[in-house]
Amino acid sequence: MLAFLQSFSLFGTVFNAVLVIIGACIGLVLKKGLSDTMADTVMKGLGLCTLFLGISGSLVGENSMILIISMVVGTLIGQGIDLEDKIKQLGDFVEKKFGSKKEGQKTSIAEGFVTSSLLFCVGAMSIVGALQSGLSLDHAVQMNKSMLDFVAAIIFASSLGVGVLFSAAFVFVYQGSITLLAEWVAPLLTETVIHEMSCVGSVIIIGLALNMLGITKLKVMNYVPAIFIPIILCIFM
C-alpha cells in the first residue's frame, strides 16, 4: 500500500502537510496546559532558536549583491501589494468566524501562520525534496523533512497557537507546486540558486526571530517575494 502511494509525485508533499497538521494539533493540546508566563518564556526561547536558524542559514549565500538586490526588489513587490495586510485580514476573518483569539492572547492566527510557514518552507530541503519527488518519485528528503517539521509543529503550536495548523496549506501549495512543475523549474533551480534563495529566506527568518523576541515589529510577509528573486538574478550574475 505504501509503495503504491509513493508512486504519486505529491506523496511527499501530502505526507509533510499531514504531519504538520498532526504536530500542530498535539501542540495545541499542550498549549492548554501552559500558563501565560510559561508560554511567553517558551516564545522567547523559540525566538532565540529561530535567530540561530536564520543566522546559520544565511551563511550559505555566496554573492552578497544577490542578497541585497533580492531584498530590495522583493520588498518593493511585497510592500506594493501589502502581503502582510492581506494575510492579517484573512487571519482576522478566521478569528472572527471561530473566535480563536482570546482576550490577552499575544499571537494571532496570522502571526502563527506566517512564522511557521516560513520556517517550514525556507531552506534547501523544501526545494530539493520537492524536485526529487517530481523528477524521480524519490520522497526520502521530503519524508525526513516531514519528521523535523512534525516536531517543530508541536513546539511552535504550543506557543504560537492555531496559526501553525494553517501553515500546512502553505507547505502543500509551495512544495506541491515545485513538484508538479519539477521538469520545467529544475534547470532554473541550480545548486547556486537554491543556496541564494536559502540565504535570502534565512535573512527574513532573522527578522521573524527579532519579532518573536519583541525587539522589532517587522512586516515579515512583505519581504517574502525576495526569496524568489535569485532565480532571475542568478541568470545574469
What's the pLDDT at 98?
59
The Cα-based distances of 4 to 15, 70, 129, 136 in angstroms read: 14, 41, 19, 15
pLDDT class of 172 with cuts at 50, 70, 90? very high
Joined grid coordinates for residue 53: 536558524
- Residue pLDDT, tens place only, 73-86: 999 999 999 988 88
CB burial string 192-217: b at 16+ within 10 A, e below: ebbbbbbbbbbbbbbbbbbbbbeeee
Percent of the chain with pLDDT strictly greater than 90: 61
Q: Is the pLDDT of residue 29 over 80?
A: yes
CA distance 82 to 201: 18
- Residue pLDDT, tens place only, 191-209: 999 999 999 999 999 999 9
Q: What average pLDDT does the segment 55-83 reach?
A: 94
The Cα-based distances of 165 to 8, 19, 173 in angstroms read: 24, 10, 14
> 11-31 vs 140-160: helix axis angle to the nearest 10?
20
Q: Is the pLDDT of residue 126 over 60?
A: yes
Closest CA to 121 of 152, 82, 79: 152
CA distance 80 to 76: 6
What's the pLDDT at 34?
74
As a whole number, the mean pLDDT across the chain is 88
pLDDT class of 161 with cuts at 50, 70, 90? confident
Tell me which of 208 and 95 has the higher pLDDT: 208
